[in-house]
Amino acid sequence: MVASLAPMLRRVEDGLRILVRPLGYLAFVVALFALSAAARLLGERHELGFFSERLARTVWRYPEVTRRGVQAAWILWVVLLGLTLSPLDPLATRWDEAVLAGVGAVALWHHFAGASRAER
């Protein structure tokens, strides 16, 4: 009986992994941005700022590590922007579109006008 449940449990586990993996990528990217923000806010003179900067620079140096997380973040941004522009918008104001457009503009500005990843 237990042996017959194993394939079914494996399919359920694979399905859950497919659903949860993008959330893990997003959590990773949010944590990496928080680490970078802590480094900027605290500065190199503070021990935690010094450590945060070195760790964030080391992780950002490997795009194969960050690529999936960044892709998941952009996909979520597109989905949220599409939801706010649709008639099914859960908020009655236009501030949600303005905030999402601002977040996208800041991200693009940082990507194109900011320091390259090799310099971080």
Q: Which carries the bigger pLDDT value, residue 44 or residue 107?
A: 44
Kindly tell me the number of DSSP H helices and DSSP E strands found in the chain. Answer: 4, 0
The whole-number pLDDT of residue 78 equals 85
Say whether pLDDT at 102 is over 70: yes
Write down how long the chain is.
120
pLDDT digits (tens, 9 = 90+) for 37-92: 999 999 989 899 999 999 999 988 888 878 888 888 888 888 888 888 777 777 76
53 three-state secondary structure: helix
Helix (H) or strand (E) holding 41: helix 2-42
Q: What is the mean pLDDT of the chain?
A: 82
- The whole-number pLDDT of residue 120 equals 46
